[in-house]
Amino acid sequence: MSAPIIAIDAMGGDFGPRNIVQASIACLVATPSLHLTLVGQAPLLEELIARHPGVDRARLRVVHASEEVTMQDRPSQALRGKPDSSMRVALGLLADGKAQACVSAGNTGALMALSRFVLKTLPGIDRPAMVAAIPTQRGYCQLLDLGANVDCSAENLYQFAVMGSVAAEALGVVRPKVALLNVGTEDIKGNQQVKQAAALLQSAPGLNYTGFIEGDGLYRGEADVVVCDGFVGNILLKSSEGLATMIGARIESLFRRNLASKAIGVLALPLLRRLRADLAPARHNGASFLGLQGIVVKSHGSAGVQGFQSAIQRALIEIQENLPQRVSGRLEDLL
């Protein structure tokens, strides 16, 4: 396999290019075969790179883009009004074969619209879906959709399940258990879309569909892939991240309450640090746009250096696993 090349929208996100440049350089150090192309305002990016002496510039390229997609821009504005935005130029590098993946922390709606326009969807896929790893008692669960599709038909949910199963297999899960998120596990529960999707999945050859799952079952690790519409998925994702942060803060507060608590806290500190690291949103940052003819990973806009590194690493794994081609091949069997 040739050296992987990832195009980075260096102007997206809440913290701008400073964190993105730092995360990119850290990834180059960690992965000697990796090549990155930073897209954005070239003079600014070169200035930031110059603060890191010893960078292997043979593996770090800068491509200038004169425009930037802001968080306030509507997808239509990004699509029609900013042809030279860093986001669009980065996606263009992917479409032209000059990169094998694109990572952006920018406007989610704009990134989805531009990705669909520039890259197109795989045959048989109506809408791409966003998928990310959610920590559970048994490891991780791939949850999709996370917000790209607020309203979904039964056929959309079926397609998401197929794509999610392939993504889980690419990440090393053997015969992934696939479930539909619902308000109950009984067959009579749920809205019409979920019930119809269940009927489609029950007859899908080779798909390990296990039925309905509730939110608590997701966190117990009862499924490897959990499917829902983007409205529910986005709320679940943001709630999970907020809960993990709140639990960490509450535990820390308890151990600071008095001298006895502080003494216990010192003894428990290694375990607490491990727990915080396991649950940290930054460790699981990076949502893939499944169903496109190319690899696109969306980082949280608020991601720091570690979080953006995680998004780049997710893109790298998908390159190594040739994920779009694997999804496409599976779709031919099931759609």
Q: Domain map of the chain by residue range? A: 1-125+291-335, 126-284
Domains 1-125+291-335 and 126-284 fall in the same CATH topology: yes
Given this model, what pLDDT does residue 264 score? 64
**How far is it, in rounded angstroms, from Cα 290 to Cα 131?**
7
3-class secondary structure per residue, 296-335: EEECCCCCCHHHHHHHHHHHHHHHHCCHHHHHHHHHHHHC
126-284 under CATH 3.10.20.30, yes or no: no
Given this model, what pLDDT does residue 83 score? 95
Given this model, what pLDDT does residue 239 score? 86
pLDDT along the chain (335 residues), means of 10: 90 89 94 96 96 91 96 92 96 96 93 94 89 88 90 93 89 92 90 93 90 93 95 88 77 74 64 58 73 93 87 92 85 71
Given this model, what pLDDT does residue 197 score? 95
Enter the pTM of the model.
0.85
User: Please, what CATH class does the domain formed by 1-125+291-335 belong to?
Assistant: alpha beta
Region of 103 on the Ramachandran plot (φ > 0 left; ψ -120 to 50 alpha; else beta) = beta
Dihedrals phi, psi of 142, to nearest 5 degrees: -90, 115
* Cβ-count burial 50-64 (b if 16+ within 10 Å, e if not): eeeeebeeebbbbbe
Given this model, what pLDDT does residue 276 score? 56
Given this model, what pLDDT does residue 271 score? 63
Given this model, what pLDDT does residue 285 score? 75
